[in-house]
Structure 1
């Protein structure tokens, strides 16, 4: 069964992209999350992933972010709830993370 996850992509006035995720990102929907990230990153613009509405992020979700971090201008906005998993995983060293 797939965990509930809503993904909304928007473009700012500067052309930068934002992918807003709401719900949980886990093994059941990490491929969907990764595909949405790929669509946004294909534009070549900077992409901010807004995780402020995410209540759970497992290693599959972290891996989806890591897989794309090295080759793209990727930024994260995350709630304090996810700060520890992002820090322990090392993702805070790979991309710019803003804790909200």
Structure 2
């Protein structure tokens, strides 16, 4: 069974893209998350991944972000709930993260 996840891409400011994510990201839907992120990366040079509506992020979701961080300009906006997982995983060292 796939965990519910909503992914909405839109244009941001100055030619960048935004991927608004709502729900939970785990191994059941990480490929779906990765595909949506890839579409946004193909459409813009900078992508902000808005995770403020995400209640859970497991290692599969973290891996999706790490896989793309080296070659792309990713920015994350995340709720305080995800702060620890982003720091412990090391994502805060490779992408710009704003905690809200």
- For 1:73 and 1:29, how far apart are their aligned partners in 2? 23
Gap regions ≥5 residues in structure 2? none
- For 2:44 and 2:58, how far apart are their aligned partners in 1? 27
Runs of 4+ in 1 over 3 A off after TM superposition: none
| Cα displacement string for residues 55-79 of structure 1 (whole angstroms, at most 9, x for unaligned residues) | 0000000000000000001000000
C-alpha change, 1:91 and 1:13, in structure 2 (3 Å) is closer
- For 1:47 and 1:9, how far apart are their aligned partners in 2? 10
TM-score normalised to structure 1 length:
0.97
Gap regions ≥5 residues in structure 1? none
- For 1:4 and 1:56, how far apart are their aligned partners in 2? 11
TM-score normalised to structure 2 length:
0.97
- For 1:45 and 1:97, how far apart are their aligned partners in 2? 17
Number of residue-to-residue matches in the alignment: 100
